[in-house]
Structure 1
């Protein structure tokens, strides 16, 4: 279904997108980041925190790093500010890039089984499907952040995959 090259491309895309968000967040005041905007996870920061939480929970299921210390319900409060989010996002993107750079085809096969708090049951799915889901989840929630930034009058980042710069991990 997916290849190590796909995973590396998507990890680089994720890092590039998050670097742009970190740069934008540095220019925004706390009110703009935390204002409730009617999105599923409320605010720009709440959605960014949920996305960081999601990446960490999936990476822990893939055997890379610790799971967040909070559950889904508290994911929007994972960090307390744009600055704290930027630091944690940078660290997580680095970990994700290192993981993707080391993947081999054999690492993409087999099932992962875990207890899903969201589904309230044990789930077992192919590793490749779950990795694709992680990258799709990133894109989905960054799209929500993009819409909230635009609604707030902020120029949102460039998001087209085919326009991604080449040659660096964009951290």
Structure 2
């Protein structure tokens, strides 16, 4: 279904897109970042926080990193400022890239079982499906952030995968 190379490419794409979004977010005031724009997680910063929360919870399951300090219901408030978010986003993107670069084909097989706080039950799914979900979740919420930034008058940059700059990784 997926390969280590796919994971490396998506990790690179994730970091590139987060850098672009962060640069556009930095052009907005704290009030503009926190303005409720009618998205599921309210504001640009709230959605960015939820996305970082999601990456953190999945990396706790995939790579043994610490889980987020708050639950999903508080995920939009994970970090109160853009500077805090940017620092943690940078760190998490590095963790994701290192994890992806260390994957072998066998690491993508089998199932993962965990207790889902969102579903309030134990879940077991194929690991490859969960990794697809992980990268799809990123793209979904970054699309929301992109739309909100565009509506706020910012240019969050290209999102097409084929336009991603070469990084020399993978």
What's the counterpart of residue 155 of structure 1? 155
What's the counterpart of residue 2 of structure 2? 2
Report how far residue 96 of structure 1 moved: 0.4
What's the counterpart of residue 39 of structure 1? 39
What's the counterpart of residue 69 of structure 1? 69
1:66-90, CA deviations, whole angstroms, 9 ceiling, x for partnerless residues? 1101100000011111111000000
1:138-170, CA deviations, whole angstroms, 9 ceiling, x for partnerless residues? 00000000111111121122100010000256x
What's the counterpart of residue 131 of structure 1? 131
Secondary structure of residue in 2 paired with 1:19: helix
Structure 1 runs (4+) greater than 2 angstroms displaced: none
What's the counterpart of residue 166 of structure 2? 166
Does residue 29 (structure 1) correspond to residue 2 (structure 2)? The answer is no
- Aligned equivalents of 1:44, 1:168: Cα separation in 2: 31
- Aligned equivalents of 1:109, 1:52: Cα separation in 2: 25
Superposition pairs of residues 87-106 of structure 1, within 5 angstroms: 87-106=87-106
Instruction: Out of 116-125 and 9-18, give the one that drifted further.
Output: 116-125
What stretches of structure 2 of length at least 5 have no aligned partner?
none
- Aligned equivalents of 2:117, 2:137: Cα separation in 1: 17
- Aligned equivalents of 1:140, 1:156: Cα separation in 2: 15
Report how far residue 64 of structure 1 moved: 3.5
- Aligned equivalents of 1:67, 1:131: Cα separation in 2: 17
1:97-153, CA deviations, whole angstroms, 9 ceiling, x for partnerless residues? 000011000100111111111111110000110001000000000000011111112
- TM-score, normalised to structure 1's length? 0.96
Instruction: Out of 96-105 and 62-71, give the one that drifted further.
Output: 62-71
Secondary structure of residue in 2 paired with 1:62: helix
- TM-score, normalised to structure 2's length? 0.96
